[in-house]
Structure 1
Amino acid sequence: MNFRNLISFIFLLLILGLVQILLLKNLALFGVAFCFIYLIGILSLPMQIQHVSLILISFCIGLLVDVFYDTLGLHAASATFLAFLRPYWLKILKPNGGYDDSSNPTLQELGMGWFISYSLPLIFGFCLVFFIADQWGTGGFFGVLNKSLFSSIFTVVLAIIVQLLFFKRRRGI
């Protein structure tokens, strides 16, 4: 990753973190669908990033969100789980010819269908860990599953909208 890409990813993570902390902290559709828009930053990191670096970056981002949410490590643990699963999920989704070394796992780079099949299971895993830890023993299994499913769908829909509006298109598309 060159210096320019590094600066753009840091800026992306900073903006998404600020939007999460300042605008989406108290947003819940119908009391069950929460949005975790900062996950776009973790999901759009380059495919060739080292696994340990990805986990450390995700942990730090989650911990930063935890500081402002007062959630005692829930975001850090869930984001770390997402970062742990991401390389294995990318291997499962790997096309026959493999990935282009310069591509990032974004909507503009790889298309709508691929992005949904990439992001939805990972975000669902994040939400499942988050809500199991958050509501351990009080929410019940179906309450946790309900919040995880609807929060995942809400987050993926907003991630698609954000990428369509603000991410630049790849040349030649």
Structure 2
Amino acid sequence: MGRVIIVNIVRFFVVILLQVALFKNIGYYNVASTFPYIFFILLLPIGLPNILLFILAFLTGLTVDAFYDSIGVHAAACVALALFRTFFHKITLEVEIKDSFNTPSLGEMGTKWFLPYVFLGTLIHHLTLFLVEVFSFTNFLYTLASIVLSSIFTVCMIFLMSLLVYKRKSRINSI
């Protein structure tokens, strides 16, 4: 349990540092930008209590808001992502897995489960982020293009990051 907490604290600081130092300056003509800091929220342990999940998601978004000079936009999007995460886990995971403290990673859950989880979570986060940021339907097609392109860009970055820390699931227990 202590190891899981330390790993998640280190993961938080690494992902926030990468987001602020590197990915804040990477974009495509102000249309597509990447937000791989949501990888931290997606990789929080499955059995984490919901109140703690929402607090951590809010604090993660608030931290990014502090560096982006935005007023709660990322915090709102992270809370929406946490809500999606609880719903997705409820409908896709078995009861035994829900009660475990496993990390929902690519190696642990498999590609068939992990890719829709990351893609839909990223889409929900970006939909909330851009619609709350713009808060208007005047340039809806531009906003929609930003949502789709940023989602694709972020999913690619998250997938690359998950491949970097990929650990194969231990098959010893299943034999």
State the TM-score, normalized to the length of structure 2: 0.89
Say which is worse superposed, 24-33 or 109-118, in terms of deviation.
24-33
Equivalent residues in 2 for 1:1-173 (5 A)?
2-94=1-93, 99=97, 101-137=100-136, 140-172=139-171
- The one-letter code of the counterpart of 1:82 is L
Q: How many residues align?
A: 171
Counterpart secondary structure, 1:45: coil
d(CA) in 1 for partners of 2:65, 2:124: 18
Cα deviations by residue, 1:106-140 (Å, 9 ceiling, x for unpaired): 11111122111111111111101110111122762
Runs of 4+ in structure 1 displaced over 4 angstroms?
none
How far apart are the structure 2 equivalents of 1:142 and 1:77? 22
Deviation of 1:82 after TM superposition, in Å, equals 0.7
RMSD: 1.9
Q: What are the Cα deviations for residues 27-66 of structure 1, in whole angstroms up to 9, with x where unaligned?
A: 1134322111111110000111111110000100110111
Check the 8 A contact 1:128/1:148 in 2, yes or no.
yes
Percent of paired sites with the same residue: 33
> Which shows bigger deviation, 98-107 or 77-86?
98-107
How far off its partner does 1:145 sit? 1.6
Structure 1: runs of 5 or more not aligned = none
Q: Determine the C-alpha separation between the residues in 2 that align with 1:139 and 1:107.
A: 39
2:45, 2:103 within 8 Å by CA — same for their partners in 1? yes
TM-score (norm 1): 0.90
Residue 71 and residue 36 in structure 1: after superposition, are their counterparts in 2 closer, same or farther (change >3 A)? same
**Cα 1:45–1:15, aligned 2, differ >3 Å: closer, same or farther?**
same
